[in-house]
A and B are shown apart, each in its own frame.
Chain A
Amino acid sequence: MAKILMKGNEAIAEAAIRAGCEAYFGYPITPQTELLEYMSRRMVELGRVFLQAESELSAINMVYGAACAGARVMTSTSSPGFSLMQEGISYIVCSEVPAVVINVMRGGPGLGNIQPSQGDYFQMTKGGGHGDYNVIVLAPATLQEAIDLTILAFDLADKYRSVATIIADGMIGQIMEPVELPEIEPPKRPEQPWALTGAKGREKNIITSLYLGGPNLEKVNLRLQETLEEIKANEVRYAEYMLEGAEIVVVAYGTAGRIAQTVVQEAREEGIPAGLFRPITMFPFPYDRLDEVAKSVEHLLVFELNAGQMLEDVRLATRDRLPIHFYGKMGGVVPSPAEVLAQIKKIASPQQGER
C-alpha cells in the first residue's frame, strides 16, 4: 500500500472514517480543530452524520445519544474541552454504551496555551469524572500508531461497551508524516440488543445511569469493575526499545516516548546502556511488564510533558525498588533530544552533573 503524507489530526479523522464511524459531534478547539474540519467535509460526503455542537457538553451528550442508538460514534477535543466532557463520559460509562473520544492535549491548567502537553494524564487515566470508573486510554507516538489505535479504539469500545480514548498531544495532532491507511471491511460489530431503536416486536429498552438504592447501584459498580478487570487482563500494550543490556531505562509515552527513542539511540552511540519502555495503553497501565523490566535495570528515568503524572504509576509498578528519576517539561515546552540526553548522562555519571 502506498504511503501518503498527512497531518496528525486528519489522519485520526480518516482512520475513524475507515473504522466505520457513523456519527461525529464536536466543538472547535486548537490544536484539534483540523480533525473536526476534516470530518465536516468527509462525513457529509459519505452521507454520515456530522454536527458541530454548541459546546463540548453538548457534543459528548450527542455522542451519548447516538451511542444509545447503537451507532459507531466519536468526538474529539483538546484539554479544556475534555474537562467539560467528563460529566458525559461518566454517564456513558455507567450506561455501558460504546463511544470513542480523542483528546489532542494542550498546555494547562486554565486556558493554558495551544502547545503540546501531557497534562491530562491524571484526568484521563484515573477516571476524571464523578464515580468509580476508568476509560481505556491509548497513547500514540507516531501518526501511523495514531491511525492504528484510533481503529482499535472503536473495536475496544464495542467489545467492552465503554469509552475508549486516544491521549494524543498537540505534536501528534499537528505534525505531518507519511502514513499508510488501511482499507477496512465494514466493521463486524457485536449485536446490540440493548440499543434504543424503538420497541418494535420486543420489550422496551431503557438506558439509564440511575440505580436507586444501595444494592442496585453496587451491582452495576461491581459489573463495571469486572469489565475493567477484563480490560486489564486483555488489553495491556507497550513498546520496548533497546532493553537488551540496558541499565538506564526511560519510561515515556506519546511524543515524549518518541523523543526518548531518539535519545536512547544517541545514548547507546555514546556507549551509555540506555533503553526505552513506552506504554501504549495508559489505562490499562502495563504495571506488570514494567515491574519485570525494572528488575534487571539500575535506574528508571520517567520523561513526560507535565509535572510528573505517569510518574506515580511507574512508582506504583516498581514500588520504588530502584532509583526513579524524573524529567518533565510543562507549559507546552517540548525539550530537544539533547536536553533529555543530558538527563541520562547525569544518571550515568553523576559526578559530571551537579549533585
Chain B
Amino acid sequence: MEKKAGFAKPEALTDALTHYCPGCTHGIIHRLIAEVIDELGIREITIGIAPVGCAVLAYNYFNLDFAEAAHGRAPAMATGLKRVQPDKVVFTYQGDGDLAAIGTAEIVHAASRGENITTIFINNAIYGMTGGQMAPTTLPGQVTTSTPFGRDVKLAGHPLRVAELIATTSGAAYVVRRMVTKPATIASAKKAIKLAFQAQRAELGFSLVEILSSCPTNWGLSPLEALEWVEENMASYYPLGDYKVIDEVKSLK
C-alpha cells in the first residue's frame, strides 16, 4: 500500500493498536518520539525503557529494542544500558508517579551524574494506570481518588516541579517543559524532543523533556475539555519554558 506523505506511520512505531484511552496524549508523544528517531536516523541504535504506569506497554508500540523497568527505576536501568554501550542512544519514558515519586532518587542522580541519556517525562498530574490517585504533580485542590476532598497541601504536600528541579543539577544539559494541546504546542514539543536526542548524540549530558499530558479518563473530562484543562490549570502551575539549555546544546539548533 502506498503511504501518503505526512501521514505515514514512522518506522520507529509498530502497527500495534495502543491501549491508551481515547484522547490520551500518550499516543501523540509516542508519535513525536518516533518521528524524531526516524528523522535522526537512529532507529537501529536506539534503546527505549518503558516505565510502570500507563506506558508500561510502550515496548509494543515502538519498533525499537526496548526494556521494561521496575517502577521508578528506568533511569538506573538506562544508566546500565548506556554505560556498557555508550555508542547507543538510550531514553526513558516515564510518568509522574514513576519519575517524581517512587523514582525521584534515580532521576535526580542520573541527571546529576550527567548520564548521557534522554528522559521523556509525562506529567499528567495523576496516577493513570492505578485508576486516578494523587500523583506528586497533582495540583492543589485537585480531586483524585486518594484526595477525595481535593489535594490539601497541608496534608498531602505540594506538587513537585520536576523540570525546575532537574535544571538545578550540574549534569543536566537540556531541560525544558512543553505540552501537546494543539498543533503549535505539539510542533514545539517535537522540536524539544529532537534537541534532547541530539544533545545525547553529541554526548553533552542528561536531557529531559517534561510534557504536560492529559488523562481524560481519570480527570473525568472529555478529550477536548482535558486539553483545555492542561492549558488553563496545569500550564499555570507548571510554566512551559526552557529551564536549562547549555551553550553546546544551543549551538546544535
Contacts and interface: CB of A to CB of B under 8 A. Distances in A.
Interface of A: 22-23, 25, 49, 51, 53-55, 57-59, 61-69, 71, 73, 87-88, 91, 196-201, 204-210
A54 B80 CA distance: 13
Given A68-B80, A68-B81, A209-B68, A88 B88 contact: no
Contacts of B84: 22-23, 49, 66, 69, 71, 73
B124 interface: no
Contact of A208 (B59, B76, B85): B59
Contacts of A65: 49, 67, 76-82
Contacts of A207: 66-68
Q: Is the interface of B mostly helix, strand, loop or mixed?
A: helix
B63 A199 contact: yes
B92 to A, nearest CB: 10
A340 to B, nearest CB: 42
Interface string B65-76: 111111001001
A23 B76 CA distance: 14
Contact of B109 (A25, A58, A68, A71): A58
Contacts of B69: 61, 64, 91
Contact of B65 (A51, A54, A198): A198
Contacts of B81: 65-66, 68-69, 196
A198 B45 contact: yes
B37 to A, nearest CB: 11
Contacts of A22: 84
Nearest to B78: A65
Contacts of B77: 61-62, 64-65, 68
A73 B64 CA distance: 23
B17 to A, nearest CB: 15
Contacts of B166: none
Contacts of A73: 80, 84
B66 A53 contact: no
B76 A198 contact: no
A199 B80 contact: no
Interface of B: 43-47, 49-50, 56-57, 59-60, 62-70, 73, 76-85, 88, 105-106, 109
A49 B115 CA distance: 13
Most buried by A among B57, B80, B82, B85: B80
A23 B77 CA distance: 13
Nearest to B105: A54
Contacts of B66: 196, 204-208
Contact of B85 (A54, A63, A69, A87): A69
Contact of A196 (B44, B47, B57, B105): B47
A159 B62 CA distance: 30
A57 B75 CA distance: 11
A254 B78 CA distance: 36
B47 to A, nearest CB: 5
Nearest to A55: B105
B80 A23 contact: yes
Contact of A53 (B49, B50, B59, B76): B76
A62 B83 contact: yes
A88 B70 contact: yes
Contacts of A54: 105-106, 109
Contacts of A206: 59-60, 65-68
Contacts of A196: 47, 65-67, 81
A204 B56 CA distance: 17
Nearest to B86: A49
A58 to B, nearest CB: 4
11 contacts: A57-B105, A58-B73, A59-B76, A61-B76, A64-B73, A73-B80, A196-B66, A197-B65, A198-B45, A199-B43, A210-B56
B80 A69 contact: yes
Contacts of B64: 199, 204
B65 A61 contact: no
A219 B238 CA distance: 45
A51 B81 CA distance: 13
B149 to A, nearest CB: 33
Given A54-B106, A65-B77, A199-B63, A87 B88 contact: no
B83 A208 contact: no
Contacts of A210: 56-57, 68
A68 B88 CA distance: 13
Contacts of B46: 198
A198 B88 CA distance: 7
Given A61-B77, A64-B80, A67-B80, A198 B68 contact: no
B104 to A, nearest CB: 11
Contacts of B50: 208
A61 B67 contact: no
User: What 10 A-B pairs come out closest when comparing CB atoms?
Assistant: A65-B80, A61-B76, A66-B80, A65-B77, A208-B68, A200-B44, A62-B80, A61-B73, A54-B109, A65-B81
